[in-house]
Structure 1
Amino acid sequence: MLKTFLRAGAAMALVLAPAAGQAQVDTQAHSQAAPVQDADPALWVVKDEDTTIYLFGTVHVLKPGLSWFDEAVKNAFEASDEIVLEMVEPDEAEMQALVMRTGMNMSGPTLTEQLPEDKRAALAAAAAETGLPVAALDRFDPWLAGLTITAVKLQKLGFDPSTGAERMISAAAEEAGKPVSGLETAEEQLMIFDSMPADLQTRYFVSVLDQVDEMGPMLDNMVVLWANGDPDALGALLNEELRDEPELARRLLADRNARWAEWIDARLDQPGTAFVAVGAGHLAGEDSLQHFLAQRALNAERIAY
């Protein structure tokens, strides 16, 4: 289950990172500047007579040192009139207000009480490692606690939200004066998590506790496949666990991809060029965005470079 959340939930973990507190990055691992490595992530295009829509799969949090915003990706960005992301990040105050409204539980059972007894020691250990008091986490809904621990853990491992693809694309768009919009709002993304049944939220949080030490290797592996432009291998890796949680896969991936395919179909009725950047996991696997585009007789062509 954790792979699915790293695939589809890292965008929200990225914007939760400031609210989670500034984690201390491992200074030994990052005492020297990382050497720059070339990355060639996959890029697709959907077009008709007067409209071109590029589809780029992102990784929301990256370690420094990957050179990916160049070659065909940069060319597609520069050729585009508008930039479309999964969501446009709200400012920190607005985000904190949204989190308080959707993810806090001040009157119901505590997070500890919702966990099986044999997982409560793991909660205390994860809280201690990330510097988040159990007493504070106890008022979080399970989904919010899981995303918060994930955000802090990934920062400690050296995954930097500021070098994630969305923030680099947003900064480049601002510099170039290109308009930026979102397929979803932050509130809509939060509600995807908050509307999950209680038992699914708890299972997710237990998976975070069980696999907290595996987050780094998991995301490292995903980043390698992304950098190598191998969505088939990425889809195969991630689809392993989707069969075990079909409701989670529907909420986080299939339903959203179907809505985004509808948006792209409608956008093709307007002339111009758009650069659409969504999490790479949405462009891989059986319920990919390309799958739902094909259902609408739209072909997403892979751009070779």
Structure 2
Amino acid sequence: MTMLRRIVLAVIPALLLGMAFSWFSREQPAPEPAGPARVALWQIADKSGTVRGYLFGTVHALPPKTKWLRPAINDALAKSDRLVLEIAEPLDQTIAGEALAELAGTAGLPPPSERIGPNLKPELIKVYKKLGLTDADFADTESWAVALQLAAIAGQKAGSDPESGSEPTLRRLAAGKPVAGFETIQSQFAVFDALPPREQKVLLQEVTKEAASNGDEETAMIAMWLRGDDLGIAREANEGFLADAGLHTALLTNRNRDWADQLDTMLKGGAKPFVAVGAAHLAGSDSLQRLMMARGWDITRVP
């Protein structure tokens, strides 16, 4: 697996859930909200009304100098006793590459261009040309891993910068507080590795279409996040590859349920966490907020 041995991952699989939020050129200015940033923040309270924690939807990679912090976020983090992210440790490219290589190979696979629909083969060739790749770079690489790597490399080429994303800023603000994670890089890759062949094909096809496009929807979606439009984000969380029921269940619903169980246990144990996960996880009918409400917690939007 030549590509697996030499790729430098700039994003974790979670970024794939919000990849449309992340692909920007270096020259493109950060989108500005109509007024002060109103990025959505929720508080978790028990039945007595006591605030026990916070939920915040992140964007994993942003254009540099995007102004998204607001006083309510700083205040909530200061009142919390820990920061909880999807993955506790900062991304280590070597560890991520090794974890990917461990799961992603299957001998005898046809080339990726033969696994997607015939109508999309020209699009994949177009993406290859744009990114300086060929089928040979993905020899014996499973479709889910091809999709993740195409998304990562396209993000790199377009100037997507995880260091400008929400998580590094929150880590800096939470200096001195413990940082916990719902998952590990290995368990995130395992979610993708467990996808059935049909879902892997859909994932690869949708990433191919996204990487081949040159639209400006990304700016609109970042602006949506900046103004706290969770209904708009919910619509986006049901499009593209997440419109597929199997992928939506595996990549959003099931993970949200697991996280809700972990968070419920954490809160009942006396913790007061600031939870920051990809914005798609806090939108829609299977959102983390709704799942926590079903477990007896009161969730309200922070002004």
- For the criterion TM > 0.5, the same-fold answer is yes
State the alpha-carbon separation in 1 of the partners of residues 205 and 259 from structure 2: 30
Name stretches of at least 5 consecutive residues in structure 1 with no aligned partner: 1-9, 16-24
| 1:222 match | 221
| 1:133 match | 134
Residue 234 (str. 1) matches residue 230 (str. 2): no
Tell me, what secondary structure is at the counterpart of 1:301?
strand
Q: What amino acid is aligned across from residue 82 of structure 1 in structure 2?
A: R
Equivalent residues of 2:43, 2:301 under 8 A apart: yes
State the alpha-carbon separation in 1 of the partners of residues 214 and 189 from structure 2: 21
How far off is 1:84 after superposition? 0.5
State the alpha-carbon separation in 1 of the partners of residues 61 and 205 from structure 2: 22
State the alpha-carbon separation in 2 of the partners of residues 303 and 296 from structure 1: 20
State the alpha-carbon separation in 2 of the partners of residues 36 and 221 from structure 1: 10
State the alpha-carbon separation in 2 of the partners of residues 11 and 87 from structure 1: 9
| 1:194 match | 193
Cα shift readout 1:257-301 (whole Å, capped 9, x = no counterpart): 111111221112222421110111111111111111121121111
Which 4+ runs in 1 deviate beyond 6 A?
Answer: none
How far off is 1:26 after superposition? 4.7
State the alpha-carbon separation in 2 of the partners of residues 240 and 123 from structure 1: 20
The alignment's C-alpha RMSD in Å is: 2.6
Equivalent residues of 2:32, 2:223 under 8 A apart: no
How far off is 1:190 after superposition? 0.6
Residue 102 (str. 1) matches residue 103 (str. 2): yes
| 2:39 match | 41
How far off is 1:233 after superposition? 2.0
State the alpha-carbon separation in 1 of the partners of residues 194 and 102 from structure 2: 13
| 2:8 match | none
Summarize the alignment of residues 232-271 of structure 1 with structure 2, pairs less than 5 Å apart.
232-240=231-239, 244-271=243-270
| 1:144 match | 145
Q: What amino acid is aligned across from residue 129 of structure 1 in structure 2?
A: K
Give the TM-score taking structure 1 as reference length.
Answer: 0.82
Name stretches of at least 5 consecutive residues in structure 2 with no aligned partner: 1-10, 17-23
Equivalent residues of 1:45, 1:52 under 8 A apart: yes
State the alpha-carbon separation in 1 of the partners of residues 14 and 281 from structure 2: 16
How far off is 1:61 after superposition? 1.1
Q: What amino acid is aligned across from residue 59 of structure 2 in structure 1?
A: V
Cα shift readout 1:112-133 (whole Å, capped 9, x = no counterpart): 3323444333222211211233
| 2:296 match | 297
State the alpha-carbon separation in 2 of the partners of residues 62 and 53 from structure 1: 25
Cα shift readout 1:74-114 (whole Å, capped 9, x = no counterpart): 11112221111011345222111101011233443332332
State the alpha-carbon separation in 1 of the partners of residues 244 and 187 from structure 2: 21
Number of aligned residue pairs: 281
Tell me, what secondary structure is at the counterpart of 1:300?
strand
| 1:18 match | none
How far off is 1:226 after superposition? 0.9
State the alpha-carbon separation in 2 of the partners of residues 233 and 118 from structure 1: 30
Percent identity between matched residues is: 32
Residue 84 (str. 1) matches residue 84 (str. 2): yes
Equivalent residues of 1:110, 1:139 under 8 A apart: yes
Structure 1 216/192 Cα, relative in aligned 2: closer, same or farther at 3 Å?
farther
State the alpha-carbon separation in 1 of the partners of residues 66 and 91 from structure 2: 26
State the alpha-carbon separation in 2 of the partners of residues 110 and 78 from structure 1: 50
How far off is 1:240 after superposition? 4.9
| 1:169 match | 170
